[in-house]
Structure 1
């Protein structure tokens, strides 16, 4: 996967809560791999963009996060939903050329005890396939949708004002029905 420290090594050496060590691990993996994934998968990602539009960012996320998820699992943790998170409850805002979408996954121990949440901040472009900067990570001790939304709303007024994706899509579909 990389030359960086393994998650298990990081957890063993860290005195901080595990969720923050996991967040630092993910940040390091993204810093090391985000551009490489764009370069090595460029043709496939461009083809996906031309066929499916913005769904390409989900494909990019799969390529980027698959090895990270595997290492988290090997360290004895579970993710729900799988990293980078569930699209339906995500929120997005920004200009067409510089959007950000925040998604999240709850991290649990092997016995099912939730230890926190990893938030992924995706930066992307709606006018072409472009990832202007690496995804950012925010580790939270909060778990559960309501607690995470409250924490993120305190963290970012933009997040607080953004609409959940499932609601935004439903409103868009209603507007199309009204036009016909």
Structure 2
């Protein structure tokens, strides 16, 4: 498959897998080059704003994907890598090898949902570093509940992790209880 274009089939049920392969190929070809090319800017962003530097990296990584999807008449909702508020994160105890799972539903120009692309971003909270190549998982499920169910079966860590908005609310509540 040529990663510069998305190859769709006549079978709509396989389109989400073709889109997933396209995005995975794009990531494989570009993730490290993008890191090296923007290393100073991303390190500076991390030093000033912490983890928001990973958002800047994802924007740069996925911008060409968004352009190609638009050209193919497809629209991710929300934009890649997905909705941070419902994402889930876990990792090692020293926070140097974390993974955050987010997702976007892919829709046609007509509004038909083709499936969901899950994006896994590996990252480090102690310094700006991506310990592993980002990954994608293509799913035919399109509802939040369906995606969570499938991912929970796939990963016990995902199943046991809290959505960001819930985790953050609990964190804020714990701070109130300290004071």
Residue 110 of structure 2 is aligned to residue 111 of structure 1 = yes
Distance in 2 separating the partners of 1:83 and 1:108:
13
Give the 5 Å matches for 1:1-180: 4-8=2-6, 10-11=7-8, 17-95=14-92, 96-180=95-179
Distance in 2 separating the partners of 1:13 and 1:7:
16
**Cα deviation, residue 12, structure 1:** 5.3
Residues 40-90 of structure 1, C-alpha deviations (whole Å, 9 max, x = no match): 111110110010011111111001011111101111101100111000000
Cα pair distance change 1:154/1:67, threshold 3 Å: same
User: RMSD of aligned C-alpha atoms?
Assistant: 1.7
Distance in 2 separating the partners of 1:20 and 1:170:
35
> When the two structures are superposed, what TM-score results if normalisation uses the length of structure 2?
0.94
Residues 3, 26 of structure 2: 8 Å contact kept:
no
**Cα deviation, residue 16, structure 1:** 6.8
Cα pair distance change 1:16/1:174, threshold 3 Å: closer
Secondary structure of the residue that 2:51 maps to in structure 1? helix
Unaligned runs of 5+ in 1: none
**Cα deviation, residue 167, structure 1:** 0.3
Distance in 1 separating the partners of 2:26 and 2:102:
18
Aligned residues: 177
Residues 82-124 of structure 1, C-alpha deviations (whole Å, 9 max, x = no match): 1110000000001111100000000011100001000001100
Residues 117, 143 of structure 1: 8 Å contact kept:
yes
